[in-house]
Structure 1
């Protein structure tokens, strides 16, 4: 049980390290907070909260995995290597795909509600 609990400490340490050292991770955290605030302000439905939560988790996980991939690539290939560059580029592409999906999902959920508020005013 002690080992199991210690594993959570390692996970939170990884989150803290990413938040302290990775600008893109902090940008995604701010976007997540804005999304949560917007969802609260617009009184979105439970199923919409699930989609927002899924998108936030997806983007943050993609960013964490990309960061881990970059660290590992730098560790095994400290000098420039074309293939190492491709690995990093593909990791970044995964983040872009997740972020674009989140953007589209957010637009589908939030835009109709925002437009309704604008037209009601």
Structure 2
């Protein structure tokens, strides 16, 4: 019985990933991820470098998922414009921006020297 419950949880999570990939920002993050992965293979990242890059990718998608969930909840709770709801949505978007900027900086630190040495 527990196994079936767990499998249902995975179904919900996979459905959530589908919802996430419907978002324009997630599509942009997916494109950026594919580019970074291709460059990573091209410059032959080490195991440690791959670990750091993959963690950054995971953090960006996680932040985007939370941001999307918060936005959807805010839109449901308050369909009309409210200043406080706007601040909540802006804060959630800021979290994605922070994680994304850090990911870009980490990517530059790891990948740029390899590209320059080619």
Alignment TM-score, normalising by the size of structure 1: 0.94
Deviation at 1:24, TM superposition (A): 0.2
RMSD, aligned α-carbons = 0.6
Aligned pairs for 1:18-97 (under 5 A) are 18-20=20-22, 22-97=23-98
The runs of at least 4 consecutive aligned structure 1 residues that moved more than 3 Å come to none
Give the number of aligned pairs.
116
1:79 partner SS: coil
In structure 1, list runs of 5 or more residues that go unmatched: none
Q: Which residue does 1:9 correspond to in 2?
A: 11
Deviation at 1:33, TM superposition (A): 1.0
The separation in 2 between residues aligned to 1:89 and 1:17, in whole angstroms, is 20
In structure 2, list runs of 5 or more residues that go unmatched: none
Establish whether residue 105 from structure 1 lines up as the match of residue 118 from structure 2.
no
